[in-house]
Amino acid sequence: MSMFKKITIIGVGLMGGSIGLAVKKKRLAKEIVGVCRRESSRQRALRSKAVDRATLNLGEAVKGADLVIIAAPVGEIVGLARVCVKFMKKSAILTDVGSSKKHIVSSIEKFSSKKTNFVGAHPMAGSDKSGVENAGPGIFKGAVCVLTKTAGTNTRALSRLGRFWKSLGCRMLILSPEKHDEHASLASYLPHAASYALSLTQNGASVKLAAGSLKDTTRVASSDPELWKDIFLLSSGPSLSAIASFMRNLEKLKIAIKRRDEKTILKFLRRAKKISDSIPGR
Amino acid sequence: MSMFKKITIIGVGLMGGSIGLAVKKKRLAKEIVGVCRRESSRQRALRSKAVDRATLNLGEAVKGADLVIIAAPVGEIVGLARVCVKFMKKSAILTDVGSSKKHIVSSIEKFSSKKTNFVGAHPMAGSDKSGVENAGPGIFKGAVCVLTKTAGTNTRALSRLGRFWKSLGCRMLILSPEKHDEHASLASYLPHAASYALSLTQNGASVKLAAGSLKDTTRVASSDPELWKDIFLLSSGPSLSAIASFMRNLEKLKIAIKRRDEKTILKFLRRAKKISDSIPGR
């Protein structure tokens, strides 16, 4: 038996498309409906076979759905959720996949708590690529999916959504939206900020010498600027504090090099290597 | 016919071992002799089949060689070269594969100019892994190899060495040692410094959320701390200036986020993405 009768995915891009493909593969829904903003993206969504049906009509699409997943850019999630709750049935679960959680969860909980079961989610699977053409059902395998829990979270909806993401291959982690943003600021916002700045520091001559280190460290600087502008702004507090603590560390290395302090440099690099070596999947 | 009769590789680790395997594959030498520091590494070098013969006797190994390649850690290259020039024949070429060039080339040229044909080299192929067990003949394919040219460089030796690295699959770039260090500081020293600092900024909770961005940006922080301590110190000037200009850029992004200056953030990220997208092999 299917886990959900009707799943509606709002935004059928890399993430929404991958969810659709994975849900189909695992047979977790009887029907998957995709919601697109433009007719051209509706056609691309249908061609990708990530959804059974695709429409531009948000209200019609979420009506009767058991699970509604907002996979739109972070900056649009709250506005879309506001429309969703007006059309969703009472027992249905509403969730999102935004990289920033505190602002999104607290905003949506303000208008959704009594009308729907909202649980914020952040599957830590993505790519510097975008678009449904780059979607694949396997991107969630082994990835961490954070679900947020607040005083207002319906625990039955939380555990049902947890089973859903587990079925797609994710390892589950339940955090408060604040803790999510704090950890994600170090694990994701900061690497992106550093990667963009590393890329911007290059010039025509240095790029010609690009080997593995530059290629790897700047890969995510090829990510969508609009998306990352929104994440940095929605999670500006944690982002700024992660960038500041990174800069303090780099400053320490800089001073040690300047002073030719071999011992401090070695200690720094060894501690950093130990952490890098410990990263899951290294 | 072989390009060289006898090639001696000093230091049979990841780099030296890969050169040996590639030379064998392309049949560029009649005999490859490896020089190791310890009996245990001599045994590992022999087992890897990267060299035909391996010895602990540096003088004996370079005697009669047509090409001597110092593939030892950067901090030891100058000292080893000093011994090599005493035993090498006059027509032979001496080269190294160190990531730092200005200090190495100027030091070696002081004692080698009349005695041997020294040409500094830096094949931009490597790994965060080390050891001959991780060596492979394919690591040079498509990689850039910088050869250094100074007023004292023998141009025949330079072009012969260029043909050698081309045969191993490299794209050649001839630069002064100073220009090499300047470009490498942006393309390699800085990404390593940032990667180590990114890694050090993580904590137990953030590492659990590690997705592609953190994994990629911290991969090279798993590189050998001793090696990188030496590179940062040998090329401290260019390293420090690259780190400083990176920090200035990151500071700009930080200020724009703090001011919620959407336009400046977007401009920053878009320019960075454009450079990242332009990196060869992206």
pLDDT tens for each residue of B3-54: 899 999 999 999 999 999 999 999 999 999 999 999 999 999 999 999 999 9
The predicted structure's pLDDT at residue A281: 80
The predicted structure's pLDDT at residue B1: 47
User: How far is it, in rounded angstroms, from Cα B207 to Cα B212?
Assistant: 12
Q: The tokens of B104 are what?
A: 């190495």
Nearest by CB: A194 against B184, B187, B198:
B198
Q: Which residue has the tokens 């393309």?
A: B187
Question: Hey, is A50 helix, strand or coil?
Answer: coil
User: How far is it, in rounded angstroms, from Cα A132 to Cα A107?
Assistant: 28
User: How far is it, in rounded angstroms, from Cα A174 to Cα B64?
Assistant: 67
CA–CA min distance A138, chain B (Å)? 14
Please report residues of A whose CB lies closer than 8 A to that of B272.
195-197, 199-200, 221, 225
Nearest by CB: B276 against A179, A199, A251:
A199
User: How far is it, in rounded angstroms, from Cα B240 to Cα A257?
Assistant: 8
Query: Cα angle at B12 between B7 and B17, to 5 degrees?
Result: 80
Question: Hey, is B11 helix, strand or coil?
Answer: coil
Nearest by CB: B213 against A220, A258, A265:
A220
Nearest by CB: A202 against B187, B214, B251:
B187
Q: What CA–CA distances, in Å, run from B226 to B75, B177, B223?
A: 9, 22, 9
Cβ–Cβ below 8 Å for B275 and A218: yes
A155 in reach of chain B (CB within 8 A) = no
By mean pLDDT, which of A105-119, A201-215, B230-244 is the weakest?
A105-119
Average pLDDT over residues A181-202: 98
From the candidates A101, A214, A227, A249, which should be mutated to test the interface with B, based on the most B CB atoms within 10 A? A214
Give the closest residue to A72 by CA, choosing from A96, A51, A55.
Answer: A96
Please report residues of B whose CB lies closer than 8 A to that of A270.
225
Say if residues B201 and A245 touch (Cβ distance below 8 Å). yes
- Binding-face residues of A in 170-189 toward B, CB within 8 A: 173, 179, 182-184, 186-188
Nearest by CB: B266 against A192, A229, A243:
A229
Residue type, B279: I
Cβ–Cβ below 8 Å for A212 and B190: no
Alpha helix ranges (H) inside B88-128? 102-112
From the candidates B148, B171, B199, which should be mutated to test the interface with A, based on the most A CB atoms within 10 A? B199
Give the closest residue to A17 by CA, choosing from A57, A55, A44.
Answer: A44
Question: pLDDT digit string (tens) for B117-163?
Answer: 999 999 998 777 889 999 999 999 999 999 999 999 999 999 999 99
B227 in reach of chain A (CB within 8 A) = no
Minimal-distance CA residue of chain B relative to A237: B258
Topology adopted by domain A180-278: 6-phosphogluconate dehydrogenase C-terminal fold (1.10.3660)
Average pLDDT over residues A137-141: 94
A100 in reach of chain B (CB within 8 A) = no
Give the closest residue to A171 by CA, choosing from A139, A143, A147.
Answer: A143
Question: pLDDT digit string (tens) for B215-229?
Answer: 999 999 999 999 999
Question: pLDDT digit string (tens) for B249-272?
Answer: 999 999 999 999 999 999 999 999
Question: pLDDT digit string (tens) for B74-120?
Answer: 999 999 999 999 999 999 999 999 999 999 999 999 998 677 899 99
The predicted structure's pLDDT at residue A2: 60
Cβ partners under 8 Å of residue B194, min gap 6 = A194, A198, A217, A250, B217, B243, B246
B265 in reach of chain A (CB within 8 A) = yes
Claim: this prediction has a pTM higher than 0.90: yes
B79 in reach of chain A (CB within 8 A) = no
Cβ–Cβ below 8 Å for B258 and A236: yes
User: How far is it, in rounded angstroms, from Cα B265 to Cα B282?
Assistant: 23
Nearest by CB: A213 against B188, B215, B280:
B188
Q: In this model, does residue A199 exceed pLDDT 60? A: yes
With both helix axes pointing from N to C terminus, report the angle between B177-184 and B236-258 in degrees, rounded to the nearest 10.
30
User: How far is it, in rounded angstroms, from Cα B145 to Cα B201?
Assistant: 33
Question: pLDDT digit string (tens) for A118-138?
Answer: 999 999 987 778 899 999 999
B142 in reach of chain A (CB within 8 A) = no
The domain locations on chain B are 4-175, 180-278
ipTM for the predicted complex comes to: 0.92
Interstrand relation of A4-10 and A67-70 (parallel, antiparallel or unpaired):
parallel
Confidence of residue B2 (pLDDT cuts 50, 70, 90): low
Q: In this model, does residue A1 exceed pLDDT 60? A: no
B259 in reach of chain A (CB within 8 A) = no
Q: In this model, does residue B186 exceed pLDDT 60? A: yes
The predicted structure's pLDDT at residue A127: 75
Element (H, E) at A21: helix A14-26
Burial environment of residue B257 by CB neighbours within 10 A (0 to 12, 13 to 18, 19 or more): buried
| Chain-centre distance for alpha carbon A40 | 24
Q: In this model, does residue A169 exceed pLDDT 60? A: yes
Give the closest residue to B145 by CA, choosing from B81, B96, B186, B194.
Answer: B96
Question: pLDDT digit string (tens) for A225-274?
Answer: 999 999 999 999 999 999 999 999 999 999 999 999 999 999 999 999 99
Hey, what CATH class is A4-175 in? alpha beta
Give the closest residue to A202 by CA, choosing from A217, A192, A189, A191.
Answer: A217
